[in-house]
Amino acid sequence: MVPVSFDDRELEMVARASAIALKWKRDDVIFRKGRAVIPSD
């Protein structure tokens, strides 16, 4: 449930988390090989 006070900062955090999750999903092959690479950005 999205709170009424959902502001731009929270929205940006969610968007950024989603982008990072997508990047990690794309780099899933690297993770499977045991070389966990944390994106710096």
How far is CA 28 from each of CA 11, 24, 40, rounded to the nearest angstrom?
25, 6, 16
Q: Using one digit for the tens of pLDDT, what is the confidence trace for 10-19?
A: 888 888 888 8
As a whole number, the mean pLDDT across the chain is 69
pLDDT at 7: 74
pLDDT of residue 11: 82
* Look-up of token digits 């092959």: 29
pTM of the model: 0.40
Q: What is the mean pLDDT of each successive set of 10 residues along the chain, which is 41 residues long?
A: 67 84 69 58 50
